[in-house]
Structure 1
């Protein structure tokens, strides 16, 4: 069965694992990122609003006459940096993080919903969340707020879908052993007071792999979840 799949941030980490584990043999997979991670790549800096229309234009073009079995957008791109007190980090970097973590998911998610609204095939919009959406960590204000915004956006938009509409969910994958975790552990305690916890998670082997997270995320597409659900993969084990 055919599928058209977009994954933002598929050049590394969970995004790359998602692209490698697409469970549809004939899927066409498109990476949306700055660097590129799949055979098809839409180059876009999702922290720059000037690039957001490029994504919407591709959604619109590719889905206008799409006659496949399913259309999927997994928004995985996000950044925990800059880490530190909101009043102390670089303001330009902070602005980019706020745009990437909070605004881009909403704008791009809405663009996918508009572009796919006329389709009768299976449609899925999956937003990557985090435990940070519920737990406030000093030094992570942009990341915390962005993931909380994703969760609430999904809850709201899920309510807006008709019975045959797009299935919209948010997924917290747990603590995954990616480059982001390396960035976190390299942070000084003065900027991130909880850093010792993340050193302990690495030392004790408590991190999950990107491949395991990807498998868990893909499995949710076959589950009968209420539209607008927020799922933590750790609750499924």
Structure 2
């Protein structure tokens, strides 16, 4: 990533996995805000929120506005990375409360927080970037991942539509979606540990891990950061393999 004078960056779910790797690989002068329940990632300021709870969403929007009001740097970025796989299993046979949390975090929170970020940055002259973390499950259905896959598909379609809208704005915010592929994270471990009857793809992911086929979170994070410098159409829906 080319040198930037000063950045203000929000990352949801920066306490682990790809989110923590994004923090570790960000170069330059940046204020990084971790939107998560746990926090604890070095180099971040933590806003404690449960993003599966709609009551937390106004808290995030207020943080966007408060920090932007005092920011005189070049670039503002929001990366929505937070997601959950739970519950894995066929629709109609999983815990209804967990299923609802999945829908709220993977779909509703992404759209509402994206909308809040766009409202907060509208009319400012910063270089603006909104990046949504998607998944291959948005395009290829897997048994046992109905809510997760539907949520990620919703993110991709939201990005396509909002990208078109932002093209009409001056300067506008660049809105992108990127699927990270199979990455060596706790979420991947959860897939491998799933019972085959709940998630038939589990054996494929176990084979992939055994063959050393999982990407390192830091490598994926560097690819995501490279999006800030790539000339990509607004509303692009990408996979990391498209950028190698």
1:92 maps to which of 93, 97, 100: 97
1:74 maps to which of 63, 71, 79: 79
Give 1:235 deviation, angstroms. Answer: 2.1
Give 1:174 deviation, angstroms. Answer: 0.8
Give 1:79 deviation, angstroms. Answer: 0.7
CA distance in 2, matches of 1:164, 1:118: 8
Structure 2 SS opposite 1:159: helix
CA distance in 1, matches of 2:180, 2:87: 21
2:30 maps to which of 24, 27, 31: 27
Q: Residue in 2 aligned with 1:16?
A: 20
1:92-111 equivalences under 5 Å are: 92-111=97-116
Q: Residue in 1 aligned with 2:139?
A: 134
Q: Residue in 2 aligned with 1:214?
A: 221
**1:48 matched to 2:45:** no
Residues 10-37 of structure 1: CA distance to partner in whole angstroms, max 9, x if unpaired? 00000000011112x2100010000002
**1:188 matched to 2:191:** no
CA contact (8 A) 1:64 1:115 kept: no
TM-score, normalised with respect to structure 2: 0.95
Structure 2 SS opposite 1:98: helix
**1:5 matched to 2:9:** yes
Give 1:9 deviation, angstroms. Answer: 0.2
Give 1:65 deviation, angstroms. Answer: 4.5
**Structure 2 gaps, min length 5:** none
1:234 maps to which of 228, 238, 241: 241
Structure 2 SS opposite 1:165: coil
**Number of residue pairs matched by the alignment:** 236
Q: Which runs of at least 4 in structure 1 moved beyond 3 Å after TM superposition?
A: none
CA contact (8 A) 1:84 1:138 kept: yes
Give 1:75 deviation, angstroms. Answer: 0.3
Residues 185-217 of structure 1: CA distance to partner in whole angstroms, max 9, x if unpaired? 111111011111101110111110100110000
Q: Residue in 2 aligned with 1:124?
A: 129
RMSD across aligned positions (CA)? 0.9
Structure 2 SS opposite 1:83: coil
CA distance in 2, matches of 1:236, 1:51: 34
Residues 54-100 of structure 1: CA distance to partner in whole angstroms, max 9, x if unpaired? 00011111113432100000000001111001101110011001000
Structure 1 SS opposite 2:188: helix
TM-score, normalised with respect to structure 1: 0.97
**Structure 1 gaps, min length 5:** none
Q: Residue in 1 aligned with 2:173?
A: 166
